[in-house]
Amino acid sequence: MKRPVALALAALVPALACAQEVTLRLVSAFPENQHYVKRTTDWIEKLNKEAKGTLQINFIGGPKAIPTFEVGNAVKTGVVDLALSTGAFYTNVMPEADILKLSETSAAEQRANGGYDLINRIWAEKGNMRYLAKVVEFTPFHLYLNKKIDKPDLTGLKIRITPVYREFFQTLGASVMTTAPGEVYTALERGVIDGYGWPIHALFDLNWQEKTKFRVDPGFYNAEVSLIMNLDKYKALPPKVRQVLDQESLAYEKQNDYWKSYNQNEAKRQAQAGIQTISFDAATSKAYVEKAKDVGWANAIKASPQYGAQLKKVLEKAP
């Protein structure tokens, strides 16, 4: 009697191990109608098909599920497993989160030059997070305005910001107000703000073109949106599941060239929607972009004496 039972058990164990499908919960710090979320839910759908029996991702929702600026802490503490966010939304977890906007090297280059590993060391130590993949890049930020300016002077203007733009716009004389993307439309409608910082794209997702007169050129910095994960959860994944997640995340990151043509189109769409561009002479434009960068790095190094300079080495393009 003894042997058949043992044999049956031995046969059962690997079967049980294989049958373990892991389900992870993902939230978005961006509103659900934003293009980023559509791309991410498409990615999830594909992953759920390909990794059936191994890994499933369950999209919980956008800021209605977890408010934009609380998503980072939700990932850190494991309230959710995964999030789609930008670093600017979780500087309350660690100031380093907002430094990635200063990237001049691409995500692919950062995987090769030690940047990705450094980011993951910092994200693990300070945020209890795994930085899985960057899924938006090659995308400058711009200043959008409803009042005309003829030089980069924002004195007397109230501008909606996130940490991305704070020091730069303040240096230009603006008074600033932090809001999540979901609150910008109403602020514009009520005339509470004279403008806002935002990438070159995704303005239409939230209908801001209806309430926007000008875009200031050139753009500055490089928008970073990524998939982040609770580190304990990541470490506890069976190796096979972790491998699938890493692979699928990398595959998503590798699509980032998408944004180059998308952004050109978005600029055209803005012009068609009647958004006028404000630009300065060449010297002023150059000084504007340099100021953004200088102010950004000065603040990064002040905010993170520990890692600011190390990040600069891997994010900055060699001159």
Q: What is the binding site for ligand 173 (CB under 6 A)? A: 86, 88, 162, 164, 181, 197-199, 223, 225
Rounded Cα gap, residues 126 and 123, in angstroms = 5
Q: How far apart are CA 158 and CA 155, in angstroms?
A: 9
CB of 284 to ligand 173, least distance (A): 24
Q: Which is nearer to ligand 173, 178 or 243 (CB)?
A: 178
Q: Identify which of residues 95 and 199 has a Cβ nearer to ligand 173 in the complex.
A: 199
Q: How far is the CB of 89 from ligand 173 (least distance, A)?
A: 7
* Residue (88 or 94) nearer to ligand 173, CB: 88
The overall longest dimension of the chain from CA atoms, in Å, is 91
Contact 32, 68 (CB under 8 A): no
Specify the residue, 55 or 161, whose C-beta has the smaller distance to ligand 173. 161
- Give me the least distance between CB of 161 and ligand 173, in Å please: 7
CB atoms within 10 A of CB 32: 17
The distance of closest approach from Cβ of residue 203 to ligand 173 in the complex, given in angstroms and rounded to an integer, is 10
| 58 strand-pairing partners | 25
Token pair belonging to 88: 């600017």
When the beta carbons of 164 and 311 are compared against ligand 173, the nearer one is: 164
Q: Which is nearer to ligand 173, 36 or 297 (CB)?
A: 36
Nearer to ligand 173, 59 or 198 (CB): 198
Which residue type, as a one-letter code, is found at position 196? Y
